[in-house]
Amino acid sequence: MRAWYSDPYEVPLPEGHRFPMAKYRLVREVLLARGVLAPEQLELAQPVDEATLAVVHDRAYLRACFEGTLDEAALRRIGFPWSEALLERSLASAGGTLSAARHALVHGVGGNLAGGTHHAHADFGSGYCVFNDLAVAAATLLREGAVERVLVVDLDVHQGDGTAAIFRSEPRVFTFSMHGAKNFPFRKQVSTRDVELPDGCDDARYLGLLDEHLPEVFEASAPSLVLYQAGVDALKEDTLGRLHLSHEGLRARDRRVFDLCWSRAVPVVVTLGGGYARPIDATVEASVGTWVELRRRFG
């Protein structure tokens, strides 16, 4: 078991900015403090280069990111002010998912304590996402011939719209997204399979829908690799989620994903995804729970 982390790449945010940047460090610290991960299992994520990102991202968009020339509208859509640190951190986060995926192909499992930036499209960033780490990892490994088919299981409360759009015409990538019908992004893309959830959706309804779809999705996609966007913003304490899942419900969700990977011997990569509880403790606890379940299943 190995996890890549990016929290030392700190991004300065203006006072009062709603993005909980501290959660990445807190998740890592709690995982270490509780012995879920040992220090030697953690690796500092390394930035990917521009050529790697270009497997999915548009050249002009990448140039603007690297040169810091994104315009006001593009930055507003991302939701962060531009800084060299933001670029470095976004590169490291994508690097973490790619490293974790390479590791998973050898060892069966790997994780990124960042990543899951599923709102980034080929030619623009959106919703706190600059580059799409899931898409970059999937496309890179497909191009190298390291995998034949990839399944993206996106259980963040927001639709994985960027990933869906990037792979719209790529039959080797199956994008599965289960998300709030009334939540961001308000113009949804078409994933290979989308499951929309009503506001206030609770554990029973959520897990029932997951049981209805997830085994079929594994069957239909026959993946050589699963990239799991394990966002915990479906938690009832979340300020953006609009759903009503409990901590136990989220852990039952995670178990279903891991059990299917395990029983079918499919390597899995866990990425952190969203979580916006205030205070942030409930989000941190939920993301730690994902790792507890991962270790319980994979050792």
**Residue 249 or 274 having the CB closest to Zn ion:** 274
| Closest distance of CB 274 from Zn ion, Å | 3
Q: Applying CB under 5 A, what is the total number of residues that bind Zn ion?
A: 5
Structure tokens at 204: 């029973």
- 126 or 192: whose CB is closer to Zn ion? 126
Question: Shortest distance, CB of residue 288 to Zn ion, whole angstroms?
Answer: 18
**Would you count residue 274 as binding Zn ion (CB under 5 A)?**
yes
Q: Is the CB of 147 or the CB of 235 nearer to Zn ion?
A: 235
Select the span of 27-35, 105-113, 197-205, 225-233 touching Zn ion (CB under 5 A).
225-233
Exposure letters 176-212 (e unless 16+ CB within 10 A, then b): bbbbbeebbbeebbebbbbbebeeebebebbbeebee
CB nearer to Zn ion: give 158 or 242: 158
What gap in Å lies between CA 263 and CA 187, rounded to an integer? 36
* Binding flags for Zn ion, 101-140, as an x/- string (CB under 5 A): ----------------------------------------
Q: Rounded distance, CA 42 to CA 291, Å?
A: 13
- 126, β-bridge pairs: 129
Q: In what order do the strands lie in the sheet with 173-180?
A: 42-44, 3-5, 109-112, 268-271, 225-229, 150-154, 173-180, 193-197
Within 156-175, the residues that bind Zn ion by CB under 5 A are 156, 158
The partner residues of 277 in beta bridges, in order of sequence, read: 238
In this structure, are residues 196 and 180 in contact, taking their beta carbons and an 8 Å threshold? yes
Question: What is the secondary structure of 42-80 as a DSSP string?
Answer: EEEPPPPPHHHHTTTS-HHHHHHHHHT---HHHHHHHTS
Distance CA 44, CA 9 (A): 10
Interface characters, 226-245, with Zn ion (x: CB under 5 A): -----x-x------------
Minimum Å distance from CB 233 to Zn ion? 4
The smaller minimum CB distance to Zn ion, of residues 156 and 237, is found at 156
Between 7 and 233, CB nearer to Zn ion? 233
Query: Smallest distance from the beta carbon of 110 to Zn ion, in angstroms?
Result: 22
What are the residues binding Zn ion (CB under 5 A)?
Answer: 156, 158, 231, 233, 274
